[in-house]
Amino acid sequence: MIKLFSLVALCASLYSAELQPRPYALVKQEIGKGQIVMVEAGSTRCSSCKEMGELLYREMEINPKRKIFFVNVGEERDAAREMKIQMIPTQIIYDGSGKEIDRHIGGLTTEALKQLLAKYKI
């Protein structure tokens, strides 16, 4: 019964309509590889973060090649410290060399997110 419940929970998380968390160690490997990267720092327990996750999920459906990642800093406290997260959600944009070029604290509207993605050609 436990295995069945775990399988159902796994399937539900795979088909959730929000961007799923990735380990910060894996996200760091994507930063500085010549492409602009957006990192959403938040928590799966934060309502504003979940709203951002839904918006980002929709944008990734439009263009899956985008480098947009969600790091659950509620569980990865070292990542929160390293990224200097003061409040969640926080969106950080890194240029192709890995330098932080923009940071927004708080949730974004759909229009503001689209403008941010367009501005940096993400």
Which domain does 92 fall in, by range? 17-119
In a domain, 35, yes or no: yes
pLDDT category, 17, cuts 50, 70, 90? confident
Q: Is 31 left (phi over 0), alpha (psi -120 to 50) or beta?
A: beta
Q: The whole model's pTM is what?
A: 0.85
Per-residue pLDDT reduced to its tens digit, 19-68: 999 999 999 999 999 999 999 999 999 999 999 999 999 999 999 999 99
In a domain, 70, yes or no: yes
In a domain, 6, yes or no: no
CATH number where 93 lies:
3.40.30.10
Give the mean pLDDT of 91-104. Answer: 98
In a domain, 9, yes or no: no
Q: How many domains does the chain have?
A: 1
